[in-house]
Chains A and B, each alone.
Chain A
Amino acid sequence: MVNNRLTAKIAKLEKLNARLERMHHALRASERQFRLLFEQNPQPMLVYEQATLQIVAANYVLAESYGYTKQELLSMRIVDLVPAEDVELLTAFFLTAAPTGPWIGGSDGFADRTRRHQHKDGTVIDVEVAGDSLTVAGVSCRVWAVTDITERNRAEAERMALAEQLAVELMGQNERLRAIDELKDQFVSVVSHELRTPLTAIRGYLEIVLGGEPGPVTAEQQRCLEIVDASCKQLLRVVSDLLLIGKSEAGQLALEIAEVDLSALLAECIAAAKPSADAKLIDLRLAGERAVGPIAGDYGRLSQAVANIISNAIKFTEVGHVDVRLHAELEWAVVEIADTGVGVPAGEVDHLFMPFFRASTATREAIPGVGLGLSIAKEIIDAHGGRISLKTEEGSGTSIRVALPVAVAG
C-alpha cells in the first residue's frame, strides 16, 4: 500500500517536474526571442539605469555605428555618448529632469542638447531619441531608440541656406527692377521735356513764318512748311503717347471728367483724320449714328483714343473705306470703327493692345508707327470703365468696338 502511494507521488512529482521543465524552456525561448528582437533590431537601441546612467544593454547596430564593442558600451554611462561640452548639463538633466513615460527627444526642453551624440572616433552626430521607462529586475531603467538625423539636418540646413540665398537674390532683383522702373519714369519725363522744348520753338516759329509776319511766303514754301508742321505734330503725338503709357503703367492716368457728347467727339475726330484718309483715297465716313445719351468722360483723352483707332484703321487700309458707327446698347454707348484693310493674323490678336506690339502685317507692309496707338486707346477706355474689343481677319479688315458706360442721371 505504502509502496503504491509512494509510486503515485513520484509519478506526480515527475509530471510536475516535466511541466516545470517545459515552462522553463518556453520562458527561455521567449527570452531568446525578445533578446533577438533587441539585439538584431536595425534601430540602434540601448538601456540604461535611471539612477546611475550606466548602460546595461546596447544592441549590435548601436555598438557598430558608434564604433564601440558591446563590452565597452556596458562599462560606459550614457553621458559618455555625448560630446564633452554637453556632459555637465546633460548629466544633471538625465538624473533629475528626464521625463518619465514615452517621449521623443526634442520635446523635453533640451531639443538641441539631446540631439548631439559622439562616436568613439570623435564624430559628432545629430540624433533623435525616442525613449521609455522600464523596470529590469526591480531596477528603474530607460530604453533609448536612437536615430541618426545628421544627414536630414544637413539637408535641411542646406535647404534653408538655399532659400535664404534665393530670398536675397530675389530682393536684389526686385531692387534692380525698381531702379529700372524709376529710370524709365525719369527717362520718359526727361525725354518729354527735352523734346517738347525744341518742338515749342519749331512749331512756334513755323506759325509765325506761315502767318507771314516776317515776310511773304510763296505757295511752294507754304506747302513745304505745312509738311514740317504736320511732322512736328506727329512727333508730338508720339511724345504724348509715350508719356501717357508711362503714366498709366504707373497708375497715374488722371481724367478730367465732364459730360461728353460722343456724337460731336466722333465728328471732330473724323474731320481731323479726313485729310490723311483723303490722301490715300479711302472713304472715312460716319456710317451710322443713333442717339446716344451723354457719357461721363475726359473729352481730350477719349478723342485721343478714338483718333488712335481711326488713324490705325486708315494706316492699315489700302483700298476701301473706314466706317465709324455709334449706337446704344442697354447702358452702353458703343462706337465701332471698321476698316477694309489688311487685317491681323489670328495668332496676334491677343497682343494688339500691348504697348509697342506691332502686327506682322504692319511690319511686312512697312506701315509706320511705334505700336502704341491701340494700347493707349485701351488704357483710356479702361480708365473710363469701358471695354474695347477687336475682330479681325487677315486680308479682309479689322473692326474695333468700344463700349462706354452711359452716364446715369442723378
Chain B
Amino acid sequence: MEAVAGDQGLLVLAADDDEIVLGLVVYRLEHSGYRVIAAHDGEEALTLALARRPALAVLDVMMPGLNGYEVTRLLRSYDATRALPIILLTARAEDADSERALDAGADEYLAKPFSPEQLRSRVEALLARAA
C-alpha cells in the first residue's frame, strides 16, 4: 500500500508550530512515499495550500496566528481547496476538540499523542476515498 502511495508521489501539506512534531509528521509521510511541504503556522499553511494545491493537509490545531480550525474553515471557503482532504491534529482526545474539528470542516482528526503509523494509514485511507 505504501508503495502505491509513494509511486504516486502525492503532495501533502503538514503544518505544526512545534518543529519536532512537524519533523515526525514529515518523516513518516516522506518515508511513506509522499512529497511533503511543511508550514510552521496557520498563515503559511493557508498560503501553501492555495499556492501548491496539495492532495491532502495535516494541520495542528494549536498554532499561533490562525489556528487549525480557522485554517480549515478558510480552506473550505475557497473553490480551489473546498474539497481538500484535511486531518486535524488535536491536543486532547476530548469530545469537544473532536467535535470542533469536524464542525470546522475537517475530514478526520487525530488526538495527540498519535502514532505515526496511525497517521500514515489515515492519510492513505483519506486519499483513497478522495481519489
Residues of A within 8 A of B (CB): 192-193, 196-201, 203-205, 207-208, 211, 213, 236, 240, 243, 247, 254, 256
Q: How many residues in B have their beta carbons less than 8 Å from beta carbons of A?
A: 21
User: Contacts A200-B112, A201-B20, A208-B28 hold; do A193 and B91 have CB atoms under 8 A apart?
Assistant: yes
Contact: A201 with B91, CB < 8 Å?
no
Please, what's the 1-or-0 string for B9-34, where 1 marks a CB less than 8 Å from any CB in chain A?
Answer: 00000000010110110011001000
User: Contacts A201-B20, A204-B24, A205-B24 hold; do A192 and B116 have CB atoms under 8 A apart?
Assistant: no
A-chain residues with CB within 8 Å of residue B28 when the two chains form the complex: 204, 208
CB distance from B92 to the nearest CB of A (A): 6
Contact: B113 with A207, CB < 8 Å?
no
Closest-by-CB residue of B relative to A254 is B95
- Interface of chain A: mostly helix, strand, loop or mixed: helix
Contact: A207 with B91, CB < 8 Å?
no
A–B pairs, 9, beta carbons within 8 Å = A197-B91, A200-B113, A204-B113, A204-B116, A207-B117, A208-B27, A211-B117, A213-B31, A236-B113
Please, what's the 1-or-0 string for B78-112, where 1 marks a CB less than 8 Å from any CB in chain A?
Answer: 00000000000001111110000000000000001
Complex-state Cα separation, A236 to B113, whole angstroms:
9
Complex-state Cα separation, A375 to B2, whole angstroms:
44
CB distance from A207 to the nearest CB of B (A): 6
Contact: B116 with A193, CB < 8 Å?
no
Complex-state Cα separation, A236 to B112, whole angstroms:
10
**Most interface-central of A197, A213, A236, A256 (chain B CB within 10 A):** A197
B115 within 8 A of A: yes
Closest-by-CB residue of B relative to A211 is B117
CB distance from A237 to the nearest CB of B (A): 12
B-chain residues with CB within 8 Å of residue A193 when the two chains form the complex: 62, 91-92
Contact: A204 with B115, CB < 8 Å?
yes
Complex-state Cα separation, A191 to B82, whole angstroms:
35
Complex-state Cα separation, A198 to B21, whole angstroms:
8
Complex-state Cα separation, A199 to B113, whole angstroms:
6
Contact: A201 with B24, CB < 8 Å?
yes
Closest-by-CB residue of A relative to B19 is A201
CB distance from A211 to the nearest CB of B (A): 8
CB distance from B110 to the nearest CB of A (A): 10
A-chain residues with CB within 8 Å of residue B112 when the two chains form the complex: 196-197, 199-200
Complex-state Cα separation, A391 to B83, whole angstroms:
58
Closest-by-CB residue of B relative to A201 is B20
Q: How many A-B Cβ pairs are below 8 Å?
A: 56
CB contact between B114 and one of A200, A211, A240, A256 (< 8 Å): that residue: A200
CB distance from A63 to the nearest CB of B (A): 80
User: Contacts A204-B115, A208-B28 hold; do A196 and B92 have CB atoms under 8 A apart?
Assistant: yes
CB contact between A200 and one of B21, B27, B93, B95 (< 8 Å): that residue: B21
CB distance from A1 to the nearest CB of B (A): 132
Closest-by-CB residue of A relative to B110 is A200
**Most interface-central of B115, B116, B117 (chain A CB within 10 A):** B116
4 cross-chain pairs, A with B, having the tightest CB-CB distances, nearest first: A200-B113, A204-B24, A201-B20, A196-B112
Closest-by-CB residue of B relative to A202 is B113
Contact: A196 with B116, CB < 8 Å?
no
B-chain residues with CB within 8 Å of residue A243 when the two chains form the complex: 92, 94
With A193-B91, A196-B92, A197-B91 known, 9 other A-B pairs at CB within 8 A are: A196-B91, A196-B113, A201-B18, A201-B24, A204-B115, A205-B24, A208-B116, A243-B94, A247-B94
User: Contacts A192-B91, A193-B91 hold; do A207 and B20 have CB atoms under 8 A apart?
Assistant: no
A-chain residues with CB within 8 Å of residue B93 when the two chains form the complex: 240
Complex-state Cα separation, A15 to B62, whole angstroms:
121
Complex-state Cα separation, A213 to B114, whole angstroms:
18
User: Contacts A192-B91, A193-B92 hold; do A203 and B62 have CB atoms under 8 A apart?
Assistant: no
Closest-by-CB residue of A relative to B31 is A213
Contact: B21 with A197, CB < 8 Å?
yes
Complex-state Cα separation, A204 to B114, whole angstroms:
7
CB distance from A232 to the nearest CB of B (A): 8
CB distance from B127 to the nearest CB of A (A): 20
B-chain residues with CB within 8 Å of residue A199 when the two chains form the complex: 112-113
Contact: B27 with A201, CB < 8 Å?
no
Complex-state Cα separation, A256 to B94, whole angstroms:
11
Complex-state Cα separation, A254 to B98, whole angstroms:
12
Complex-state Cα separation, A256 to B93, whole angstroms:
12
Complex-state Cα separation, A41 to B40, whole angstroms:
95
CB distance from B68 to the nearest CB of A (A): 13
CB contact between A192 and one of B24, B31, B92, B117 (< 8 Å): that residue: B92
Complex-state Cα separation, A211 to B2, whole angstroms:
15
Complex-state Cα separation, A196 to B21, whole angstroms:
11
CB distance from A226 to the nearest CB of B (A): 15
User: Contacts A203-B113, A203-B115, A208-B28 hold; do A197 and B92 have CB atoms under 8 A apart?
Assistant: no
